[in-house]
Structure 1
């Protein structure tokens, strides 16, 4: 089976959102995810380009997503809580390698290590999360979010007219809702959008 659904889940987007970004219908995305048939080359390349991975990785023929041998290093910062907000230290504790193509377009990337259980089963303690630095996101994306200045948490973000919801994936944890007034006063700020997660086995 190919890795399209896995990649889409890691990026926190649904079939419709992926289809809109690469010019395919949600129905086509769903078909490619569940079918073992060959994906047309032009469509396969669009999917690979969007996720910044090799076509072999999309097809499940390679265990590494890297397109080529060129790599760069990005900083691994302090831990981020996948549970209750916790202070995110800006100190660089390490550097990790990523494919150079991942940073194409002058993207500013950074990595954090998650702890806690609120984002299980998709993300577990110790996972390395790679983010693109941004102060905005689309509904349903997984983000690093600063709460009350120094606090940071990792959640699925849903925006409403009244405010913003930070949603865990583990039903044992509650969704946090912040009104527009709280967003401005605390403040609540998007730090980055998840681009990739890595797990050591």
Structure 2
């Protein structure tokens, strides 16, 4: 992030000082100060706290340094798309952390709440149309030994799928998804849609017995996001 260098200069500290403050190496800070750096959420949080700003303010200052394209609206808030080359874009998206799970389930349509969420960036090949949101994943139910696993603490980028679309076709079968269900936020693989009983079957990638498949009724789902990208911590 180019803005880190500006913040350091204002605070009159060098890269080593910042590295020591957040507990990383000098080389890591040098990488973080490059444009379009991919910074894990836990270190991004430490940086924001050190400079006494929010994560959203960090990204706000960053994108204002360069030309930015404003993308589609998500729940009355906008996400930002910054082209960085042919079929490469940096997209800045509201992030639901584990601390915000319960409140998001209650207030996912509250414009004021959504505007105060932290922001995280993903690199994507093409601009994505539709409603987008990032989620911190909690728990080990989607962990496995394959590349498609989603580790505890990962951040995923989801594109919202209208609930009626789940009942109209099979293209979302075997998709990894974030499901806003009652007062819970689940990350699962969708393996079956039962049209007669109006349920979907959720599958975990972790093969441990405690992560058995289970069904949930469609009429209790508030939102369904197909996972289109993930970041590991």
TM-score normalised by the shorter chain: which range applies?
A: 0.5 to 0.7
Mapped partners of 1:69, 1:132: distance in 2: 18
Give the corresponding residue for 2:226. 193
TM-score (norm 1): 0.52
Give the corresponding residue for 1:174. 212
Give the corresponding residue for 1:117. 140
Give the corresponding residue for 1:183. 218
* RCO comparison, higher one (Cα < 8 Å, 6+): 1
Give the corresponding residue for 2:130. 107
Mapped partners of 1:157, 1:88: distance in 2: 25
Give the corresponding residue for 2:154. 127
Unaligned runs of 5+ in 2: 1-84, 167-171
Mapped partners of 1:88, 1:157: distance in 2: 25
Q: Select the residue among 186, 189, 193 that pairs with 1:156.
A: 189
Does the residue aligned with 1:120 lie in a helix, a strand or coil? coil
Cα deviation for residue 190 of structure 1 reads 4.1
Unaligned runs of 5+ in 1: 1-65, 81-85
Mapped partners of 2:89, 2:186: distance in 1: 31
Does the residue aligned with 1:87 lie in a helix, a strand or coil? helix
TM-score (norm 2): 0.46
- Residues 100-138 of structure 1 deviation map (CA, whole Å, 9 limit, x = unaligned): 65434x322211110101001211111110001222451
Mapped partners of 1:177, 1:102: distance in 2: 34
Alignment length, in residue pairs?
Answer: 123
